[in-house]
Amino acid sequence: MSSAIELPLHLRVTHGVSHARNWLQLARFGAVGATGYVLNLAVFAVCVHPIGLDYTVSAVFAWVISVLNNFVVNRNWTFRTRRARPFPQGVRFFTVSALVFGFTYLVLMALVSRVGLGTVPAQALAVAAGTPLNFLGQKLWSFNA
Confirm if 120 and 127 have CB atoms less than 8 A apart: no
Task: Give me the helices (H) in the chain, please.
Answer: 9-17, 20-48, 55-73, 86-110, 119-137
Residue 143 CA: distances (Å) to CA of 8, 23, 78, 90: 21, 15, 9, 9
- pLDDT digits 0-9 by tens, 16-63: 667 788 888 888 988 998 999 899 999 999 999 999 999 999 999 999
Confirm if 125 and 107 have CB atoms less than 8 A apart: yes
CB neighbours of 130 closer than 8 A, spacing ≥ 6?
Answer: 100, 101, 103, 104, 107
User: What pLDDT score does 45 carry?
Assistant: 96
What pTM value is reported for the model? 0.75
User: What pLDDT score does 21 carry?
Assistant: 82
| Total length of the chain | 145
- State yes or no: pLDDT of 2 exceeds 60: no
Give the chain's largest Cα–Cα span: 59
- Compute the average pLDDT of residues 63-86: 89
User: What pLDDT score does 13 carry?
Assistant: 63
CA 65 from centre of chain: 12
User: What pLDDT score does 140 carry?
Assistant: 87
- How is the chain split into domains, by residue range? 33-142
CA dist 137 and 123 (Å) reads 21
